[in-house]
Every structure is written in C-alpha cells, then in structure tokens.
Chain A
Amino acid sequence: MLDNLLLFVQFPPLAVDVVVNGLLIGAIFALAAYGMALVWGVLNIVNVVQGELVVLGGYVTFLLVQWGMPPLIGVPVSALVMFGVGWVLYRAIVFRVVDKDIFISILATFGLAILIQQLANLSFGADVRSVDAGLGSLHFLDGMVTVAWVKLIAFALALVAGASLWFFLRHARLGQAIRATAQNPRAARILGIDTGRVYAATYALNAALCGAAGSLAVMAWTIHPYMGLPYTVRSFMVVVVAGVGNVGAVVAAGLGLGALENVAGFVLGTEFQIAFVFALMVTILVWRHLRAARRREHLK
C-alpha cells in the first residue's frame, strides 16, 4: 500500500492518469444517477432496478451493432428505446408503489431487477458482451496518460445531459410539472396537472438516461445480465451524497465518486475500492447529520 502511495506521489503523470480515468468512469455513474435522483425525488421510490436498466441499454446498443449500425448511434437509440421500456414498466408495475412506504418500492423494484436479469439471460445468454466503439484513445505524456475517446464522449454527454436536465426541469412545461408534483402531488393535481402522466414521464426519462449510460458502458467496458448491481449501488451512493433535488451536486458527486474510487483502487488495492467509497459515504452522512443537529441546536 505504501509502495502504491509512493508511486502515486513520485509519478505525477501516473496520478493524472488514475484521476482522469476515474473522472471519466464517474461520468457514466453520474448519468445513471440523474435518473435515480429524479425518480426518488418525484415518485418517492428507491429504484433498485436502475442498474438493470443500464444493462438493457447496453444490450440495445449491442444488438444495433450486430445489425451493422455504427456504435455511436446506439446512444440516442438506446435512450429512445429505454424511454419506451421505462414507460411500459411504469404503467405495468411501478405505478402501484408510487408514494407507498419506501420499503415496498425497494422490494418491488428488486423483484423487477431479478426479472430483467433472467429475461436478459434468456434472450442474450450469460456471455460477456462488449462493443468496439472503434474510436481509439488519446495519448499524452509519452503514453503515460491515456484517455479512451468513448469515455471522453461519455464525459461530455454526462455534462450535456446534466445541463439539459436542469434546463428542462426549470423551463419546460413538463419539467415544471415534474417539479410541482415532486413538491406537493396533491396541490399539483388540484392545479390540473395529470400527475399520473408526470410520474410515467419521469420514470421513462430515468430509463432513457440509463439507456444512454448503458450504451456507453458497453463500449467502454463490458456487460452481462448480472452486472446491474454495481450501477445501482453507485447511483444510490451518488444520490445519497448529492441529495435528490440537485442536478449539479449529482454531477459533482458522480465524478468525485469515480475519481476517488479509482485512486482508492490504486493506492489501497482494488479489493478495498468499494469499501473505501462506502466508508466515505458513511462519513459524509454522519458529518451532515452532526451539522444539521448543530444547526437545530442553534435555532433553539
């Protein structure tokens, strides 16, 4: 461990490589986390099926490439297809658990996650799939820092998606309706907002974001039916740290999580990667709790 730390400090280009790659990984986490934050905030659901939606997005892109389409087309097409899938899932199942006890939503979406895993296994097999984006990598500092183009695109896309989402929620009619519903569904209904449609649209939007993330994940890494969990866990962590209503914080938390995870993997060894990030999350929550308690004390 000390060796790794020394290596990290002595070799600045290496440190840059680890941090940059971590930030790029974080961008894909952030993309999946936007949707979770949105669904959590508006529907009051912890969407445990998040990772499986990402995996499905990956499979859509994989299929498109099998049919001879260029891989990058997969990003918008996966988003579109998954928008439809999200809508159907909402209408079929998710609407039953909206605004219920959070435990019920966790159970329901967990069941859905298992169902999707098995269906994906049935239709695509348990094999590991990957798509070559065919874009290559960028090299800096004598090859010590490498950045895969597809991850760079993921990064840019995550920022653009974040900005558009923010803009959409502020200014578009549906976005405003989503925010109103999130604040007070009853009042929103009284004011004539069709909250059922808003919920469905929110869930579908989440699935679309997951679809884009999955499309990038299959190009940057690999997918198989049972790899949704890491994405669910990371999205959950990002949202817990960032809070449900803040797009900017989700970007920051997503990127930060990716970078820290990679640095922890490098210095502590990959087996402690997730443990480190979990410990960090707990520390942040405890610190926040203490700060809030102090504030309450102050108000007394």
Chain B
Amino acid sequence: MRKGLFSGIFLGLALLAGPAAADDPGIIRLGAAVSLTGKYSSNGAFTRKGYDLAVEKINAAGGVTVAGKPYLLQIIYYDDESTPARGAQLVERLIQQDKVQFVLGPYSSGLTEAIAPVTEKYGVPMVEANGAAISLFRKNYRYLFAVLSTTDEYLRGAIDIAARLSGDPSKLRVAMAFENDPFSQDVRDGVLADMKRHGMKVVVDDKLPPELNDMSATLSKVKALRPDLLLISGHDKGASLAIRQMADQRVNVPMLALTHCDSARIAENFGPAAEYALCAAQWASTLTYEDDLFGSASDYARLYEETYGEVAPYQAAESSAAVQVYADAFARAKSLDPEDVRQALTETAMMTFYGRIEFDETGKNVAKPMVLFQVQDGKYVVVYPEEFAEAKIRWPTPPWGER
C-alpha cells in the first residue's frame, strides 16, 4: 500500500514537472507473482533472476524509448507460495491496487493457468516464460503470450531421432511412463501423435502418480518387454528416480529420453548412471542464437554466472527473454496503452539469445524448437536439432554390464 502511495506521488510529481523533465526517464511498472517459497521455490528463484537480469541490462542500456520518451523498467514482485489460488489473488492485487498494466508470468503451467483468467478479465497482457502446457493455448486467451515451446513439443525430438536412426520406424517399440499431471500428459499427447504417424508400437504406457516415490513396477515391465525407446516425464523427481532405479534394476534400453533432467541435475547427482540419457530442454548456452542486448547464448550464460554465481538454467534464460519481448513491444507500440502493447505483442518477430520469438494467434511461440541434450562424459551436450548440435548422439546405449 505504502509502496503504491509513494509511486503514486512520484508519478504525480513527474507529471507535474511536465515538459521541463522530458528527458528524465519515466517508469514502466511490470508485475509478477513468482514462487519464492513452496515447492517451486528453486525454479521461482530462477524466474526472478532471469527477469531481474534483463531489467538491469535494459535499464543500463538506457531503458526503452516509447514515442520518443525514455522509460526504465521496474518489476513489482509478490511471492505466490507456489499456490495457484494465491497467484491469482496476487495478480488481481497487482492490477487493482498497484495499478500494474503489464504482467510477467509465474513459474509453472499450473500457476499460469490460474493467473491467465485474471489478466484476461482486466485486459492486461501477460508475457510468460514458464508455463508450457498446451492447454493454456486452447482457451482463446487474447492477452497471453508465451516465449517458450509448449509441452507437446518436449520429447518429439526423441521420436524424430529414434525414427531416423532405426531405419524402419514402424518396427520401433516404445515404452512410456508419464506422470498423471497436465504437464506430462501434454508431453505424452505430443509424442503419441508423432508415434502414430511413424507407425511405432506402444508397449508400455504407464501413468505415474504425482506423489511418485518408486518406479520399480514400471521398470520391471520395461525390462521384460525390451522396448527400443523409453520416454519418461515426471518433473525432477521422475528424472532422478528413473536414473537411480534404472541403474539399480539394470534396465537396458537402447534410448532413454526424459524431461527435467538438467533441473534434476542428473549428471552431477548420478554420475555414470546418467550417461547416454537424452534430456529435453528449452534452451542451452551452446546454441548459436544472438541478440543486441545480451549477445550470444553463451554471453548470456557468462553474464548470469558472473551475476549469480551459478550456471544459467533455461528457466532463467526464458524469463529474461520474456522481458526483452515486452521491451520490444513497448518500443514498437509507441504507446503504453495495454491494448496497443497487446497489438504490438501479436506482431512480435524478433531474434534473441534465447531463440526466435514469434507468436501465433493463440499466443504461443512457434519460432523456436526444443533442444535435446545427451549426457556425454558427465556433461550435457546438445545433440538435437542437428543444426545446433555440438556433438553426435551416442547410440545405442550399451547394456549395463558393458558400461
């Protein structure tokens, strides 16, 4: 409240000062409810760091020029405690009390799903970087824009690779274990469509419970049926459990593809057991994308590491890109009216260190592919798509006895 009051006075003074202060930069306030506590707190922190880094960089470069007047960016944060209801409540507060006209997304699809109806209700644009559920983009939201690839794209690369390596994709047998939550089920829908197209056969199709703490039933099945490809999605715990238990139970599959293995840090935590695993990721620091603000993807990674003392995760990179999208839209809209900015957002076509960003009519970014890492000698190496690949994929995975 007090914060709002002060900013109000500040803005009032700025207005009173009028033309005399035309060169003083104005402030564009963005609002974000991010998980700083609760179960998404690590990824929530990455999201915030990503936003902050982009704001610092943009402000240091003189801010954004809107219709000839310079503006600095400022973000008002609230902690959504990783609870969707709280997130929606806080965004309502941002719009109603703090008078924020532009919202940055929270972490996770679940929270984005809770917040989108609110921003929609008030006609406030939300550029989000961490809600990938395809279901978000089937609801005809007008004010929602996402810089990241959607969930159905996550493991499609693995199907593509498997199909190409095998020679005859219709002979491939696939085992799937996907958590019974919207995210992983979307991932499943995406791969199922591709598998159908290739004529692949599904031999295991397990839905893992959200309170997952053991996967041995599924892995025993995989051991008996010997599929050519095993796909697993279940957030950090699913990736960690899969690696741990596949090593313990000596489950041999020629190709294993997972989601979330970089955030679960499988290479660091499980050493040799994680070798050969393919991991879906939104972004990698070795990709050859570039922009004027951050430079190349690796420049961004370096800056992030210097600033925060940790390796840049893709969650931070995409969050930074979301702020860049706003800055670009403000400049092109030549106005700070939410409706004009929304129009500018729909016309976004830009290259960033994070990848190309172009929104389709549903608001999702259709210009950037997912990448696949492979754990090779303890490092995450990009192996797909081939034009950005650092190394060739190691395939097939040798059986445990020979590793």
Instruction: Give residues in A with beta carbon < 8 Å to B.
Output: 4, 7, 11, 14, 17-18, 21-22, 25, 118, 121-122, 125-130, 132, 137, 139, 143-144, 146, 148, 150-151, 217, 220-222, 224-227, 229-231, 262-266, 269-271, 273-274
Which chain A positions have C-beta within 8 A of B208?
270-271
* Contact status of A269 and B41, CB under 8 A, knowing A7-B224, A132-B270, A222-B237: no
Contact flag A230-B244 (CB < 8 Å), given A225-B39, A271-B180: no
Question: What separation, in Å, do the CA atoms of A229 and B211 have in the docked complex?
Answer: 8
Output the nearest chain B residue to A264 by Cβ-Cβ distance: B217
A132-B271, A224-B237, A271-B209 known; A266 and B217 CB under 8 Å?
A: yes
Q: Is the CB of A137 within 8 A of B250?
A: yes
Q: Which of A17, A226, A270 contacts B209 (CB 8 A)?
A: A270
Judge whether A4 and B213 touch: CB under 8 Å.
no
- Chosen A-B contacts, 16 in total, with CB atoms closer than 8 Å, are A122-B37, A125-B42, A130-B270, A137-B249, A144-B223, A144-B224, A146-B249, A217-B213, A220-B248, A221-B213, A230-B213, A262-B216, A263-B217, A266-B217, A270-B207, A271-B206
CB distance from B172 to the nearest CB of A (A): 18
Known contacts: A4-B221, A128-B240. The answer to whether A139 contacts B42 by CB under 8 A is: no
Q: Which 5 pairs show the lowest CB-CB distances between chains A and B?
A: A265-B217, A271-B207, A148-B248, A21-B216, A128-B236
Set of chain B residues within 8 Å of A271, measured between Cβ atoms? 180, 206-209
Chain B residues near A11: list those with CB within 8 A. Answer: 224
B222-255 interface code vs A (CB 8 A; 1 in, 0 out): 0111000000000011011100110011100000
Chain A residues, Cβ within 8 Å of B332: none
Residues of chain B lying within 8 A (CB to CB) of residue A146: 248-250
| Contacting residues, chain B, for A129 (C-beta < 8 A) | 269
- Interface SS of B by simple majority: helix
* Chain B residues positioned under 8 Å from A269 (CB to CB): 206-207
> Which residues of the partner chain B approach A132 to less than 8 Å between Cβ atoms?
270-271, 273
Interface residues on B, range: 35 or more
Q: Pick the contact of A127 from B180, B215, B236, B248 — CB < 8 Å?
A: B236
Q: Are B218 and A121 in contact (CB under 8 A)?
A: no
Which B residues are CB-close (under 8 A) to A151?
Answer: 248
The number of residue pairs between A and B whose CB atoms lie closer than 8 Å in the complex comes to 122
Tell me, in angstroms, the Cα distance from A296 to B6 when the chains sit together.
Answer: 75
| Chain B residue contacts of A17, Cβ below 8 A | 220, 223, 249
Residues on B facing A (Cβ under 8 Å): 37-43, 177, 180, 206-209, 211, 213-218, 220-221, 223-225, 236-237, 239-241, 244-245, 248-250, 264-265, 269-271, 273, 401
Q: Which residue of B lies closest to A11 (CB)?
A: B224
Cβ distance A117 to chain B, nearest Cβ, rounded Å:
9
Q: Which residues from chain A contact B240 at a C-beta distance below 8 Å?
A: 128, 130, 222
**Which residues of A are found within 8 Å of B220, using beta-carbon distances?**
14, 17-18, 21, 266
Smallest CB separation, A173 vs chain B (Å) = 38
Identify the closest chain A residue to B271 (Cβ).
A132
Please tell me which one of the listed residues B38, B39, B43, B249 contacts residue A148 in the complex, with CB atoms under 8 A apart: B249
Enumerate chain B residues within 8 angstroms of A137, measured Cβ to Cβ: 248-250
Majority-rule SS of A interface residues: helix
| Cβ-neighbour of A221 out of B37, B38, B214, B264 (below 8 A) | B214
Known: A270-B209, A270-B215, A270-B217. 11 other contacts (CB 8 A): A11-B224, A132-B270, A139-B250, A221-B241, A225-B39, A230-B213, A264-B217, A265-B218, A270-B177, A270-B207, A271-B209
Report whether A126 and B250 are in contact in the complex, using a CB–CB cutoff of 8 Å: no
Task: Judge whether B236 and A14 touch: CB under 8 Å.
Answer: no
- Least Cβ–Cβ distance between B211 and chain A, in angstroms: 5
Residue of A nearest to B43 (CB): A126
Partner of A222, one of B40, B41, B244: B244
Contact of A227 among B180, B237, B249 (CB under 8 A): B237
A226 contacts which chain B residues (CB < 8 A)? 39
| Cross-chain contact A126 with B40 (CB below 8 angstroms) | yes
In the complex, residue of chain B having the shortest beta-carbon distance to the beta carbon of A16: B220
Contact of B241 among A122, A143, A222, A231 (CB under 8 A): A222
Q: B245 contacts A221, CB within 8 Å?
A: yes
Candidate in A143, A144, A230 with the most chain B CB atoms within 10 angstroms = A143
| B249 close to A121 (CB less than 8 A) | no
- A143: which B residues are within 8 A, CB to CB? 223, 250, 401
Q: Which residues of A contact B269 (CB under 8 A)?
A: 129-130
Q: Within 8 Å CB of A144, what residues of B?
A: 223-224
- For A225, the closest partner residue in chain B by CB is B39
| Bound Cα distance from A4 to B207, whole angstroms | 14
Please, which residue of chain B has its CB at the minimum distance from the CB of A24? B216
Least Cβ–Cβ distance between B148 and chain A, in angstroms:
20
Chain A residue at minimum C-beta to C-beta distance from B235? A128
Task: List the A side residues contacting B216 at CB < 8 Å.
Answer: 18, 21-22, 25, 262
Nearest opposing residue in chain B for A137, CB measure: B248
User: In the assembled complex, which residues on chain A have CB atoms less than 8 Å from the CB atom of B221?
Assistant: 4, 7, 266
Give Cα A126 to B237, complex, Å. Answer: 11
Beyond A148-B249, A270-B206, A270-B207, whether A126 also contacts B39 by CB under 8 A is yes
Q: Which residue of A has the minimal Cβ distance to B236?
A: A128
B180 surroundings in chain A (CB, below 8 A): 271
Question: Are B37 and A121 touching (Cβ within 8 A)?
Answer: yes
Residue from the set B38, B224, B249 with the largest chain A CB neighbour count within 10 Å? B224
- Choose one: A121, A220, A230, A265; the contact of B39 (CB below 8 Å): A121
- Chain A residues whose CB sits within 8 angstroms of the CB of B43 once the complex forms: 126
* Bound form: Cα–Cα A125–B40 in Å: 9
Q: Is the CB of A128 within 8 A of B264?
A: yes
Closest chain B residue to A224 by CB distance?
B237
Within the complex, the shortest CB–CB distance from B42 to chain A, in Å, comes to: 5
